[in-house]
């Protein structure tokens, strides 16, 4: 298919406009076929950009440059017409100014390269919740990853028709090849100061320049699925969220679906692919990262996973922490910035076993392996943000319903963060608005391991709804949107909302591995069991100043290690003094950021919480 064959007049005109500006040597409309994937991967291998992995079927390793290894927060912009609409937590540049700058960078930026036109769908094809986009890119790596992460190719055109809605996504690595230049095996990207990941919310438009890595370049992921989708969701009355989706089946065969929002390094992917430790329970994966939720005809909230693959963090993924993720990435997977072993496999820190012989690290240097699966900070063999891109359908615990066009009905929404103190193992919101309050205060405690600034240790880094870097508009207005969605719904059909914390610590208890008072991983199924029963209205709770918490004996401890049986009562108590400090921090340091955009309902709930604590 050629650009001249595109039947959608709007898309055809936009592609032709971008071709004229970017001046690629060739233009290819992606068809999404296996033959095309294989051809593009061979091109990457022949160019020295990809290494076939002998130990894994149809798997390949890429190495990026040190300047292009992760999302670049400082170069990510919400370019709304008014700065106020971007809000205090986003970077803003006037759209007229930003477009002028980026057009200057885009002009001739694809010299020596091919422009690929990727038609893609976020969500199951034909789903009433799905959305469509076109990404233009000069990166084969991006085409290959988008083929795994989205439903991409010629099958999308029938759903776009001649005038269907779509999101335009323009991407370039920002490294033109002039006068016969080659990449010579070096990852193509621009200098940091020339990187732009720009969202124009009023136009539902994404422009990205200078980075070839992850969410900066795979524009269906964070740019479309969250930053632009949150804007569309607000306009249309639904929810686009940074949430996993779980299917829970109890021993009686009863099923419930749960979503959950967790900041990075808080066990989100592990929970998405959890293997329960309590007999008779089954956990299956619908999605590991993003959920789009709309109300169905029956008044319930239904969710789809808009992605078709997993873009997972490799370091720390092991048979103990996430066996299902490892199995998912055994074949047909793209690895980025992992270490390469002598026998043609990948390795990373926290994989659960030491490597043997020599390793080629993520920078391409050959070094002797260490006798353990850890490395000194700054000397890692795999970059801490090394990734695997694996098809979701390969996950051994993928739910049959994961591609149901209608979505799955959500019974519970979980929030959580990494909190060594104060926040209990689990508590439930009394109402939808109380749940919005819990989502609005999500955060993780800064530790010595996560900062070089000693003054920061112990402070809470807030990440409301775990969506702070990904919301396409003012976060205060985002809180209001959640309140508005709840107000219009049948209250009896809304999901119940919970806050969980797997990370309470007692550093002085030598019996606790790592000082953690809860084992986490598969034992989190014990908390999910309580949540499942609460969704059915089971009387297994007590009312406390912070919300509903498990009654004594309500958490199943059969088979739980004795050291955790001893700590369980402590992590199911209300730390009144700790919560008073929490209220003070929210009132003085967190909520004031949102000014007049902070919903009055949240201030009222904070006042109520303080009053309840004072009476406790």
- Positions marked active-site: 266
The secondary element (H helix, E strand) that includes residue 247 is strand 244-249
DSSP letters, 333-358, are -EEES-EEETTS-EE-TTSSS---SE
List C-alpha distances in Å: 337 to 123, 329, 365, 405, 432: 28, 15, 12, 34, 42
CB burial readout 66-86, b (16+ within 10 A) else e = eebbbbbeebbbbbbeeebbb
CB 251, CB 281: distance < 8 Å? yes
Which pair of tokens denotes residue 258? 């749960």
DSSP alpha helix (H) spans, 331-422: none
Name every residue whose Cβ is closer than 8 Å to that of residue 173 and which is 6 or more positions away in sequence.
Answer: 138, 139, 188, 189, 190, 210, 211, 212, 217
Name every residue whose Cβ is closer than 8 Å to that of residue 146 and which is 6 or more positions away in sequence.
Answer: 118, 120, 135, 152, 218, 220
List C-alpha distances in Å: 485 to 206, 240, 273, 321, 432: 26, 12, 29, 36, 10
What order do you get walking across the sheet with 366-368 strand by strand? 346-347, 339-341, 358-360, 366-368
Q: What is the rounded distance in angstroms from the CA atom of residue 365 to the CA atom of residue 358?
A: 10
Rg (CA), the chain: 24
Residue at token pair 């009394």: 430
Q: What is the rounded distance in angstroms from the CA atom of residue 226 to the CA atom of residue 242?
A: 7
């Amino acid at each position: 298919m050629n650009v001249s064959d595109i039947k959608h007049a709007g898309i055809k005109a936009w592609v032709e406009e971008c071709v004229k500006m970017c001046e690629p040597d060739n233009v290819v409309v992606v068809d999404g076929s296996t033959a095309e994937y294989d051809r593009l991967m061979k091109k990457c291998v022949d160019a020295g950009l990809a290494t076939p992995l002998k130990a894994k079927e149809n798997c390949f390793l890429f190495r990026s440059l040190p300047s292009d290894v992760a999302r670049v927060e400082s170069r990510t912009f919400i370019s709304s017409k008014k700065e106020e609409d971007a809000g205090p937590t986003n970077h803003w540049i006037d759209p007229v100014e930003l477009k002028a700058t980026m057009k200057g960078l885009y002009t001739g930026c694809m010299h020596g390269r091919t422009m690929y036109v990727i038609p893609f769908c976020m969500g199951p094809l034909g789903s009433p919740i799905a959305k469509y986009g076109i990404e233009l890119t000069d990166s084969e790596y991006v085409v290959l990853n988008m083929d795994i992460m989205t439903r991409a190719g010629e099958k999308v055109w029938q759903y776009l028709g001649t005038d269907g809605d779509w999101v335009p996504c323009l991407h370039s690595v920002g490294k033109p090849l002039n006068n016969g230049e080659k990449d010579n095996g070096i990852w193509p990207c621009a200098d940091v100061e020339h990187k732009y990941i720009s969202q124009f919310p009023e136009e539902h438009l994404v422009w990205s320049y200078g980075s070839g890595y992850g969410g900066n370049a795979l524009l269906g992921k964070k740019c479309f699925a969250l930053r632009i989708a949150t804007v569309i969701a607000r306009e249309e009355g639904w929810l686009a969220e940074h949430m996993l989706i779980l299917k829970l089946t109890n021993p009686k065969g009863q099923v419930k679906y749960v979503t959950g929002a967790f900041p990075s390094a808080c066990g989100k992917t592990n929970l998405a692919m959890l293997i329960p430790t309590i007999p008779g329970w089954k956990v299956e994966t619908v999605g590991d990262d993003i959920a789009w939720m709309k109300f169905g005809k029956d008044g319930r909230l239904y969710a789809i996973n808009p992605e078709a693959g997993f873009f997972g963090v490799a370091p720390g993924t092991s048979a103990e922490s996430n066996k299902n993720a490892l199995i998912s990435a055994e074949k047909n997977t793209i690895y980025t910035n992992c270490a390469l072993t002598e026998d043609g496999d990948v390795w990373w820190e926290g994989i659960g076993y030491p490597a043997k012989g020599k390793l080629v690290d993520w920078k391409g240097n050959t070094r002797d392996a260490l006798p353990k699966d850890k490395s000194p900070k700054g000397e890692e063999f795999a970059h801490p943000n090394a990734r695997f891109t694996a098809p979701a359908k390969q996950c051994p615990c993928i739910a049959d319903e994961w591609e149901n066009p209608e979505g799955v009905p959500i019974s519970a929404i979980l929030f959580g963060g990494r909190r060594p103190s104060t926040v209990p193992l689990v508590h439930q919101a009394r109402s939808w608005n109380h749940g919005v309050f819990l989502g609005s205060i999500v955060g993780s405690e800064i530790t010595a391991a996560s900062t070089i600034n000693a003054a920061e240790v112990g402070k809470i880094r807030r990440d409301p709804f775990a969506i702070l870097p990904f919301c396409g508009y003012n976060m205060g207005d985002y809180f209001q949107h959640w309140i508005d969605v709840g107000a219009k719904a049948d209250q009896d059909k809304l999901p119940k909302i919970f806050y969980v914390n797997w990370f309470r610590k007692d550093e002085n208890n030598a019996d606790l591995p790592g000082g953690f008072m809860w084992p986490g991983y598969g034992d989190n199924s014990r908390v999910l069991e309580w949540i499942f029963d609460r969704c059915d209205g089971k009387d297994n709770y007590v009312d406390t100043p912070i919300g509903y918490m498990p009654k004594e004996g309500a958490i199943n401890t059969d088979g739980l290690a004795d050291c955790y049986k001893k700590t369980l009562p402590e992590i199911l108590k209300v730390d009144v003094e700790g919560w008073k400090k929490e209220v003070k921090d929210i009132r003085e340091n967190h909520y004031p950021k949102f000014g007049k955009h902070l919903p009055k309902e949240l201030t009222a709930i904070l006042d109520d919480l303080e009053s309840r604590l004072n009476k406790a």
